[in-house]
Amino acid sequence: MKNSNKIAKAFNLSCILPGILLGALTCFLGAQEIKVPFATNNWPQFRGLRATGIAMDQDLPLEWDVEKGTHILWKTPIPGLGHSSPVVWGNKVFVTTAVGEGKEAYLKVGRYGESPDNPEDYTHHYRLYCLDKKSGKILWEKTAYSGKPKVARHIKSSHANSTPTTDGQHVLAFFGSQGLYCYDMEGKLLWKRDLGYLDAGAFDQPDIQWGFGSSPILHEDKVIVLCDVNNQSFLASLNLKDGKDVWRTLRDEGPNWGTPTVYKTREYSQIFVNGYRHIGAYDLKTGKEIWWMRGGGDVPVPTPIISHGLIFITNAHGRMRPIYAVKLEAKGDITLERNEKSNEFIPWFYPRQGAYQPTPLVYGDYLYVGNNSGVLGCYHAETGEEMYREKIGGDISSYSASPVAADGKLYFSDEFGNIHVIKAGPKYEHLATNKMGEICMASPAISGKTLFIRARRHLFAITK
């Protein structure tokens, strides 16, 4: 956690105070997990603080109407194609995109079996946008890189999948093979880093390319990046000051689109990562392995989340669609043996009920896992008891975005632009469906009693 006095000089202390309180209380309580984070006006990374996807005391609307403008604070066109989520700090919203020169990007959503890449042999401009949170006005835009894409994308993907991250002084935008870029809050480039040729595609057909997706994480004075690709996979900690390696740990792993999760308390200092051959945790300071396991879907996408003293990991594709609950004190090889449902460090496990793309969330006592076909499973987080499995939306619904939650409500975005609102709790209750009128692939953000939804052509701010 940054020193609060230094931050307060440049930013309104009331904006960041809840985050400081959360860090202090987490440190004081050690391994004891706070079940629901404190409210904060900042949403600094993919899925907010520690990727929980949760905000409190937001008073978000249950229903809104894009056509009539009901509860629509603003909508701002964002050119190009990008699936990155918006992030928020203070009065600024950041989002990335890739703009093809003179051509409309082809995008095909929905559930289908084909998995082709989409070569685009023309110049793209990889950009970071900064918008005013209250008005939606674009304050500045920066082109990080211009050139032909070094890696092709899937026809459902984009060249700007990675969500930016910020600590209120820096904002980082990651464009895979096109590099990692660090700006200050006014758009001045502080440094850039070429992390190499990052080819994330079909693990068993390396000539098929799908596009990079893991997002960077800022923790104190370090930048954490997970680069699991078809050539040489690695997890790295970079110095925030200049982007140079603090440490780099090689991984025996294929392509992975999940974002790492940092967890630091008095007792634990770990980075959790998803995977196929290597799901695991690493020491935040040194990069050394703490625990690891095999047994997952062969195309891992969701981000690990932490609550109730457990790490929840899910993925899908291929033989397995697991949900794992792993204890924070896990050490060494914790792989389940054949026909095992639990062991010393895995209190519960489901082999075939996991999610392919959306990251799950824990809200209160319950874990919610929504898969890409719209089946939502609710489980007691500590025991794994299944409370329900229900279908959200129609039979053709398809989901790539991850859900978020606030005020006892869960928000699920399907790819066709319908935002489904589900009541939190052990019984399924569908409260509302809101139509955005555009494709929705990005996970929403929540800040200052406002829901931010990045759609195909616009960024929306929704509030009472």
Q: In 10 A of CB 351, how many CB atoms?
A: 15
Q: How far apart are CA 149 and CA 301, in angstroms?
A: 22
Q: 384-414 pLDDT, tens per residue?
A: 999 999 999 877 889 999 999 999 999 999 9
pLDDT higher than 70, residue 211? yes
Q: Which residues, at least 6 apart from 385, have a Cβ–Cβ distance to it below 8 Å?
A: 379
pLDDT higher than 50, residue 33? no
Q: Which residues, at least 6 apart from 223, have a Cβ–Cβ distance to it below 8 Å?
A: 172, 180, 182, 216, 217, 237, 238, 239, 240, 243
What are the Cα distances from residue 28, in Å, to 25, 264, 266? 5, 11, 7
Q: How far apart are CA 407 and CA 463, in angstroms?
A: 13
Class of 4-462 in CATH: mainly beta
Q: How far apart are CA 20 and CA 16, in angstroms?
A: 6
Number of H helices, E strands in the chain: 2, 35
Q: How far apart are CA 106 and CA 295, in angstroms?
A: 34
User: What is residue 3's predicted lDDT score, i.e. its pLDDT?
Assistant: 40
User: What is residue 114's predicted lDDT score, i.e. its pLDDT?
Assistant: 78
pLDDT higher than 60, residue 22? no
Mean pLDDT, all residues of the chain: 91
Q: Are 238 and 244 in contact (CB under 8 A)?
A: yes
> Considering the chain, what percentage of its residues have pLDDT values greater than 90?
85
Instruction: Name the β-bridge partners of 251.
Output: 233
Grade residue 374 by pLDDT with cuts at 50, 70 and 90: very high
Q: Which residues, at least 6 apart from 457, have a Cβ–Cβ distance to it below 8 Å?
A: 77, 78, 438
Higher pLDDT, 35 or 382: 382
For residues 300-308, give the mean pLDDT: 98
pLDDT higher than 60, residue 185? yes
Q: Are 315 and 296 in contact (CB under 8 A)?
A: yes
Q: How far apart are CA 283 and CA 291, in angstroms?
A: 10
Residue reference for tokens 């509030």: 463
User: What is residue 25's predicted lDDT score, i.e. its pLDDT?
Assistant: 35
Q: 83-114 pLDDT, tens per residue?
A: 999 999 999 999 999 999 988 999 999 999 87
User: What is residue 40's predicted lDDT score, i.e. its pLDDT?
Assistant: 64
Signed CA dihedral, 92, 56, 451, 448: sign only: negative
